[in-house]
Every structure is written in C-alpha cells, then in structure tokens.
Structure 1
Amino acid sequence: MEKLSIFAISDLHLSFNKPVGLYDIDAQHDIEKPMSKFGWNNHYDIIRDHWLKLVSTDDTVLIPGDISWALKWEQAQYDFGWIAELPGKKVFSPGNHEYYYHSKKKIRNYLPKGMEWIDADYTCVEGVVVAGTRGWMLPGDPNFQIETDQKIYERQVGRLQLALEAAQKDYPDLPKIVMLHFPPLTKHASESKFMEIMRSYHVTMCIYGHMHGKSADEAIQGEIDGIELRLVACDALKFCPIKIR
C-alpha cells in the first residue's frame, strides 16, 4: 500500500475575480490584486506546476492562512475553486488577511469537497492530529502594542489550547502538528505562550507563514525544545509545497 504524504504551503495570496481553470489565466483581466509588484510574477502558475508534480490525489496539503485577498466570500470562492482543482485534500487555517472569514460554520458549508477549515480545533490526517489557529504578534516584537495586541495574543493562545486539549482527549496517542499563521518565535521574542502550550502537549511540529522577503531570512526554524519549526510561506518555499511527513 502506497504511503500517503502531508505537504504544507501558505500565503498563496490569490485574488481571482471570476472562475478560472488551472491554466490560461490572464494576469491582466483575471486578477484583482496582482502580486507582481512584490516580484511574484504569475506565482499561481509556479505553485500549480510544482503542486502537480509532487502531490497525489490522496495526499494532504496544509495551508495556514493568507489564502485569498478577497473581502467577501463571493470573490474568495474563485480562489478556493482554483485550489480545489489541484490534487490532494486541503486543510486550511486563517491568517491575518482572511477578511472574507466571519463564521467557521459558514465557511465550512461554502468550501468545495475535499477541503477542511480548522480554527481553535483540529482534524486528523494520515494518522496525525493537526491543530490550528491564527496566532498573533508576540510580546517583544517591535510592532507589538500592549494596549491593542495583548488581548488578541492571549485570545489566540487560548484558542490553541482549546484545540490541543480536544485533540489530546480524543487522540492521546497520535503525533501532533500545529498550524499557525504567525510564527511562535521570532528573533525579538525567544519565548512565547504558544511554545509553552505546544511543549505541554508534546507537539512535534509547528508550521507557520506570514514572513516574507527579508523577514523570512530571519525566521526561526529547526528543532526547538523538541518541536520542529518550519516557515511555509510560499515565496520562502520558492512557491513549491514542502513535504513535512
């Protein structure tokens, strides 16, 4: 029996303005917010080509946030429709640009077949628990403001704990992967409550996105306290899904 794989890639930043197929996308007419100004020229084509070479129908791809630029689901559906044409099961969690996302129940009803949305909860794929939430900036980061960010940080920490508590109760013997959008450690924040919680539940891997360009070069990656940290923002991966299991 062929062993199935788990891949990861985040920050797709799609913005199709109508239904599109995998091929023959007109960058001038089919894209609402071109990423070419960031040097991401036709990045969806590069993602597609790598994805088709690597991912099989029964594999799983984890996508932790910043999937679409859309402000409302009516437009985001075009981006998810494009992703749906790519092989594999997909598991999404939110990022800081998911403006179209207001209700977990609603978005789960909207998603095409073969897609899951997790936020403050978990799913099981290929014998692994995958728990997810958005995360947030960390105390110590330059832009962190106690007045506005502390409550959001604490809330997101609580949401991760809810997800892992439920996973531990239901599947105590399965290995655990966490999907965050924001990194759980940075060069300015060498500790966080996200890391504390992941250690306490014996999480083996945390994938995250959000960091691009020069900030990606400073991302904390590798094994920290028994947890493998991996940046999976698509530009950091050269727009190629990475196999994580």
Structure 2
Amino acid sequence: MSIYAISDLHLSFNKPVGLYDVDFDQDVDKPMDIFGWTRHYDRIRDHWLNIVRPEDTVLIPGDISWALKLEKARYDFDWIHALPGKKVLSPGNHCYYAQSKKKVRDSLPDGMEWIDADYTLVEGKVVVATRGWNLPGDRLWDEERDRKIYERQVGRLRIALESAAKHHPEKDRIAMLHYPPVTPRSSTSGFMDLLKEFGVKACVYGHLHGQAHRDAVEGLVEGVQLQLVSCDYIDFTPIPVRLDH
C-alpha cells in the first residue's frame, strides 16, 4: 500500500460523466485550456490509472471542483470515485460548495473522505488537514484582509494536530494544506511552527500554479518534508508522499 498526493484538480463537470466519455464542448463548465491544461482530466486519469492501485490512498488537498453548489460538485466527486484507491480530500480556496463539512461528507461516495480541522487514519499514519491561508510577510499578504482568516486557520490546524496527538500519539503524522506553510518571502509561519511542534513528518500542499511555482519551498525543512502537489507542477500525476527521513 502506498500514499500518493495530487491537488488542484479544478474539475467542472456539469452532469454525470464516465472516465472515458467526457464531451469537451458539452460536459465541462470551466475548461482549463486557457492555462494550457488541455483536457487535463484525461491526463489525470491516464497517469492515475498507470500508478495508483485499489489498495493505495490518494490525498487531494483542495481546489477539487469549481462547483459553487454541492449538487454540482457531486459530478466531480463521482468522476474521482471511478479512479482506483481510497481518496482523502480537504478544502482549498475555490471549494465554495464546502460550507458544511457534514453535508460534504454525506455527499461523498464510499471510499472518499473529507477532513477539515480534524484527522483520519491512512495506512497506519495520521493525516490532518485544514485549508491554510496567505502568510504574513508574503507578497500577497494584506494585514487588514488576511490576519483574522490566517489566525483562524492556524487555530484549525492546531485543533487537528492536538486531537491526532491525543488519540494516536505513536503514529507518524502527515499534514494536508492547500496553501504553502512557508514561501521564499515568509520563511516561518504559524502553520510551520505547528508542523514542527507536533513532529509532522510530511506536509503536502497546492495552490501554486504557473509562474507561482517559483515560490515553492520543497524538501526537508526543519524536520518536515514539504511537497508541492499542484496538478500542473507534477505533470497531472499523483506522486508518492515522502516519509523517508
């Protein structure tokens, strides 16, 4: 059994579709071609089927669907469900349908799980998640707009980690964030402090696309293995979560 990660699928199916029967002109509400992601769902499907086995798990930290309402997001969830493996999902900044954690969970097919400010168990590991936010000192930070949201999200990560540590103190920990926990301009953050405090082994994150890939901080940082897993950064291919340190 292996644990993989891929984020920012940005799906937008407007009706039930199969893995191989998507009509580009009729079935997709928000094509990603303008970003160079031509029929990216086909690329995700082909790479996924090549790599992920039914007994594996795939972590998907945010921006899964463009849908504004949960009823429409279900089409995207069902398409993901048709791919092999267990899936663990968490929110991103474009997951507008995720106003109620309970409603999202109730809408998911079997073998798919939604976590946000809490944790789940995956292949003998504890996986925690929250969305994250812009970081103080980063180029997009706006003190008046961002401070309250940032502190709330840091608090949500603490809730998840404290609960995981209380109930499973002996298990390795993996964190799913949508936003990066550090950037070249923000070398520390409340998120990173918590990852270190609770001995998190690995953190997978997304959100960065195109030229923003240059802001990715990856590798072993103060004992935490950081991995950017945005679709376009990893060639639309689920990659193994690194725990080898």
Unmatched 5+ residue regions in structure 1? none
Whole-Å separation in 1 of the counterparts to 2:67 and 2:90: 16
Whole-Å separation in 2 of the counterparts to 1:231 and 1:29: 32
Number of the residue aligned with 1:192: 189
Number of the residue aligned with 2:172: 175
Q: Deviation at 1:218?
A: 2.7
| Alignment partner of 1:66 out of 59, 63, 67 | 63
Give a deviation string over 1:140-159, Cα, whole Å, max 9, x none. 11221111100000000000
In the alignment, residue 173 of structure 1 is paired with which amino acid? E
Number of the residue aligned with 2:160: 163
Number of the residue aligned with 1:242: 239
| Alignment partner of 1:25 out of 3, 22, 25 | 22
State the SS of the aligned residue for 1:181.
coil
Unmatched 5+ residue regions in structure 2? none
Q: Deviation at 1:24?
A: 2.3
Give structure 1 regions of 4+ aligned residues with deviation exceeding 4 angstroms: none
Whole-Å separation in 1 of the counterparts to 2:123 and 2:197: 23
Whole-Å separation in 2 of the counterparts to 1:104 and 1:197: 23
1:75 equivalenced with 2:72 (yes/no)? yes
| Alignment partner of 2:99 out of 102, 113, 122 | 102
Number of the residue aligned with 1:9: 6
Give a deviation string over 1:34-77, Cα, whole Å, max 9, x none. 00011000000000001001111111000000000000011111
In the alignment, residue 239 of structure 1 is paired with which amino acid? F
Give a deviation string over 1:162-210, Cα, whole Å, max 9, x none. 0000000000010000000000001110110111111110001000000
Please, what TM-score do these two structures have when normalized by structure 2?
0.98
Number of the residue aligned with 2:48: 51
In the alignment, residue 13 of structure 2 is paired with which amino acid? F
| Alignment partner of 1:220 out of 206, 217, 223 | 217
State the SS of the aligned residue for 1:28.
helix
Give a deviation string over 1:215-234, Cα, whole Å, max 9, x none. 11330001000000000001
In the alignment, residue 101 of structure 1 is paired with which amino acid? A
In the alignment, residue 141 of structure 2 is paired with which amino acid? F
In the alignment, residue 231 of structure 2 is paired with which amino acid? C
State the SS of the aligned residue for 2:27.
coil
Please, what TM-score do these two structures have when normalized by structure 1?
0.98
How many matched pairs?
242
In the alignment, residue 225 of structure 2 is paired with which amino acid? E
In the alignment, residue 70 of structure 1 is paired with which amino acid? A
Number of the residue aligned with 1:134: 131
Whole-Å separation in 1 of the counterparts to 2:171 and 2:228: 23
Give a deviation string over 1:17-40, Cα, whole Å, max 9, x none. 100000021111110000001100
Whole-Å separation in 2 of the counterparts to 1:177 and 1:63: 13
| Alignment partner of 2:87 out of 90, 93, 113 | 90
Whole-Å separation in 2 of the counterparts to 1:96 and 1:123: 21
Whole-Å separation in 2 of the counterparts to 1:170 and 1:111: 25
Number of the residue aligned with 2:145: 148
